[in-house]
Chains A and B, each alone.
Chain A
């Protein structure tokens, strides 16, 4: 296995985990502020543990029992669906056809939703608030599911599940520390840019693994991955430019779109 594909694997998992965890952190902070920190943190930790178990329960059997070529085709197809979808959103956002992801807006909406729940629990701050726990658990679990998919897919296809899980864990630590420092200034994280980069990497891995698993010989073997990354960066820039020039969107309409 070449160093280049390992580097791209770590970068892809780390960056994908980073953006998903920032989204999860937004919800956990909103639940903590609105319903009490103990329940919100317990919900977040419980969801993280369930996700960790999922990685082991799904990833290890995949590596042990599924033939590598079949695994690479399936994994490549999953990564392609995910990567193309992220890249499409990135193109639409960059060209003004879709509003950028806004953590401040999500935070405000979550706090407003929680404020409509029965307020007695929040006022008396019981030892456990089931609403705060459930909202934090759901937020971390739903955002984390994509991380699990990426960790298991990329990790299993390269037989580097441990490395992929470590990259995701590193992202978790970075987001947790950043969350403690910046608290509600999550909008400072350049999430749209990171998502674009992850979309490029997932699409590149997807095309590579589908071809590799099906029996296509890539020139330079794993060295084709950085070339594919470069190609999809060019595709992203070209598609964005085409949409901006051929189908310009009035500024007011672009701002009004829901993330």
Chain B
């Protein structure tokens, strides 16, 4: 079956699209790849030289790590794939903060060691420094994947469902299905019950149970998937999809070349 893609909504950080003609395994591989395997940059280690703020070092380090950073993952290599032993400019970069209160430190106050890395959101409050409190730190940014820690997860939300199809085979226009449906799949037009957007159907089967005539059939298309994807700004939604597809393909290509060596 040929693959078809229909985009319903596409913004910088959000995508909603239908892919049809894919096996469930491929759709799941794509979903898992977008969540778990596409690498990205995040602050991983923090050296504190001075911290008299209200937050402990550990809490601050966690807050720093969770700040989404925008960078091309191709610019760096993963730490354990790097040739160096304990960190070099190929696998890590730095960011620093130096401030004295009273001042509010925002994510935009991070001074990046590499101009290709920037924070995705400027207005995240890291810490509120009160009078006389000091903060001096140096953070190390590393590349990682979602399976190591959620801060390296590109897709905040990524999921799919099979496309549902609702059909009415027998109807006396009693309107019970209209009342009972939580997703407003049915609508009443001039006293007649019609099906509106059945793509919103969650297959809860409340309408099937409510129908006296057993006249509602809900089917799911096993090869069409409605994907919803939300990123935190580190990567655009469209770039993430493209990157994940390319990663899966490349992995297959590399396996192929290994297999060729084996079979001779």
Q: Tell me, yes or no, whether A binds B.
A: no
